[in-house]
Amino acid sequence: MFRKRLIKALQSISVEIPNKSMISLVGESGSGKTTLGKILVGLVMPTTGELSWENTVVVKDGRIVQKDFYLSNRHKFVYVHQDPYTALNPSKNVKNILEPVVRKYKKHLSNADRFKYIRELLEEVGLVPAEYFIDKYPHHLSGGMRQRLSLARALITDPHLIVADEVVSMVDPSIRVSLINLLKKIVENRGTSIMFISHDLGAAVYAAGDNPMYVMLKGLVVEFGPASEVIYRPEHPYTRALISNIPVPLVLSERRVRGLDGVMESARNPNVSSPCPFSEMCPLLDSECSSLTPGSYLRVGPDHYSLCVKAGKLPKWRPSWLPASPG
């Protein structure tokens, strides 16, 4: 549905977002997640490559082509920011935050219908009772509520795609899941596609489920495939190291801190130069790795691809936190 290709800050990345589904993008800070997200909605122009919205090329090699189509459709591709504390105007109440947007994008609504619409919108995102929230200012709301309000504002244009950039990272752990459930409900009820960007692998898997997940490192996608598959059968040393080293909410014994697993703390084998973004830390680095070409992936399973030249031949693996006997 949307496709693009680009290099440098992001290198040789192709992402396709299917209709009516939530996919996720994970990576650590500086991996290029936000840049990719902003490119998808047309906020950042890629140096080279293409961006297509609904099979129509809108950006090509850094320039907007199909300008009319781009201008008349860009409100359908929206971006929700990470920080709900700065994304909302502190001097406006909920009604005044939403109303101008409704006026612009729902021109046919009469005054009375407009307020009815705003109330329904607030209820849809879980800000109930709507009457209670309608005259509140952002400082009255918790982080989770503000994020819901940001989402409500994004929904006014009836978007085809919402890029949700780290929307759960600044809200409390106890309400992260309910926010992701809200996103799932939006996908289901409205048929909107959502790109869920997060550095939290657990949240990203929960959001995507069996839909695609892309794992980014230093501007490259190193592995992608159905999220649950990528986590259960990772075929890139970086993804494996990530899964193994993440603290998990399982306590299997008395205090036991796991050591670093699958990562070299200091670079070794300086004789091998590889374009692989994980080469500096990878324990499996050898001369084979210099043949890697960014953008060319090995198929390791149905719809599951890895950038690693050794994918499919990697040693047997299981996360260091998983007990030896399979449960």
Counting contacts by CB under 8 A, is residue 256 touching other proteins? yes
Contact residue for other proteins among 8, 16, 19, 28 (CB under 8 A):
28
* Site of tokens 């890629």: 46
Q: Which of these segments, 79-87, 113-121, 156-164, 244-252, binds other proteins (CB under 8 A)? A: 244-252
Q: Which is nearer to other proteins, 70 or 206 (CB)?
A: 206
Angle formed at CA 213 by CA 208 and CA 219, multiple of 5 degrees: 140
Counting contacts by CB under 8 A, is residue 228 touching other proteins? yes
Number of H helices, E strands in the chain: 10, 11
Q: How far is the CB of 157 from other proteins (least distance, A)?
A: 27
Q: Which is nearer to other proteins, 60 or 176 (CB)?
A: 176
Contact residue for other proteins among 186, 215, 281, 307 (CB under 8 A):
281
Q: How far is the CB of 239 from other proteins (least distance, A)?
A: 10
Nearest to 173 by CA among 241, 94, 247: 247
* Site of tokens 């490259």: 220
How many residues of this chain bind other proteins (CB under 8 A)? 49
Q: Which is nearer to other proteins, 206 or 297 (CB)?
A: 206
Q: Which is nearer to other proteins, 22 or 242 (CB)?
A: 242
Q: What is the dihedral angle through the alpha carbons of 41, 13, 62, 58, rounded to the nearest 10 degrees?
A: -50
Is the Cβ–Cβ distance between 236 and 277 less than 8 Å?
no
- What's the rounded Cα separation, in Å, for the pair 280 and 327? 34
Counting contacts by CB under 8 A, is residue 135 touching other proteins? no
Counting contacts by CB under 8 A, is residue 14 touching other proteins? no
Q: Which is nearer to other proteins, 156 or 213 (CB)?
A: 213
CA 273 to chain centre: 30
| 176-179 own/partner pairs: CB under 8 Å, 24+ apart | 176/203, 177/206, 178/126, 178/144, 179/144, 179/147, 179/148
Counting contacts by CB under 8 A, is residue 144 touching other proteins? yes
Contact residue for other proteins among 247, 270, 302, 315 (CB under 8 A):
247
Amino acid sitting at position 105: Y
Q: Which tokens in the block code for residue 39?
A: 């490119």
Nearest to 164 by CA among 142, 141, 148: 148
Q: Which tokens in the block code for residue 9?
A: 């800050």
Q: Which of these segments, 10-18, 64-72, 258-266, 298-306, binds other proteins (CB under 8 A)? A: 258-266
Is the Cβ–Cβ distance between 51 and 14 less than 8 Å?
no
Helices 201-208 and 173-190: crossing angle, nearest 10°? 30
Interface pattern 191-220 for other proteins (x via CB under 8 A): ---------xxxx-xx--------------
Nearest to 9 by CA among 75, 66, 27, 22: 27
Q: How far is the CB of 1 from other proteins (least distance, A)?
A: 27
Q: Which is nearer to other proteins, 92 or 199 (CB)?
A: 199
Counting contacts by CB under 8 A, is residue 29 touching other proteins? yes
* Site of tokens 């550095």: 199
Counting contacts by CB under 8 A, is residue 86 touching other proteins? no
Q: Which of these segments, 76-84, 117-125, 254-262, 284-292, binds other proteins (CB under 8 A)? A: 254-262
Q: How far is the CB of 175 from other proteins (least distance, A)?
A: 6
Residues of this chain that bind other proteins (CB under 8 A): 28-29, 142-145, 172-178, 180-181, 200-203, 205-206, 228, 231-232, 241-243, 245-251, 253-260, 263, 265, 281, 319, 321-322, 327
